Amino acid sequence: MKALAQIGYEGCDTPTLENEFQKIAIYVDDQNVPQHVARQLPNGHWTSKLGNEIDIEHNTLRALEGKDYGQATCFMKRRSVSAAL
């Protein structure tokens, strides 16, 4: 979270789409260790990088929740580039 704050992200309460913001969700395991990050797209869906070269789009954060990635429990946002113009 500290590294993401250095590039303009701040904590937020929900993953709900906000038109002027880009949001990310951090997935953590049972020990609260970060395992994965997803970024919200302008249409409200999410995108993630799986492996070295595979980018996927998923409709919900729950689509990736489970043993491998944990739960999406931390949300951050920053003003989108288009909103800043």
pTM over 0.85? The answer is: yes
What confidence score (pLDDT) does residue 52 get?
A: 81
Is the pLDDT reported for residue 84 higher than 60?
A: no
What confidence score (pLDDT) does residue 40 get?
A: 97
User: What is Dmax (Cα atoms) for the chain?
Assistant: 41
pLDDT, one tens digit per residue, over 40-76 is 999 999 999 887 878 999 999 999 999 989 999 999 9
Residue 72 phi/psi, 5° resolution? -80, 105
Question: What is the domain count for the chain?
Answer: 1
What confidence score (pLDDT) does residue 62 get?
A: 94
Return the structure tokens found at 59.
């409709």
Q: Which domain holds residue 42?
A: 2-84
What confidence score (pLDDT) does residue 82 get?
A: 65
